Amino acid sequence: METNISAVFATFNNIGPGLSAVGPYLNFAEFSPLAKFVLIFDMIAGRLEIIPMLMLVYPKTWRKHF
DSSP per-residue letters across 27-54: -STTS-HHHHHHHHHHHHHHHH-HHHHH
CA distances from residue 3 to 10, 16, 35, 62 in whole angstroms, order as listed: 10, 14, 12, 38
Percent of the chain at pLDDT above 70?
Answer: 95
- Specify the pLDDT at position 65: 62
C-alpha to C-alpha distance for 55 and 19, rounded to whole angstroms = 32
Q: Which residue has the higher pLDDT, 64 or 10?
A: 10
Residue 17 has pLDDT above 80, yes or no: yes
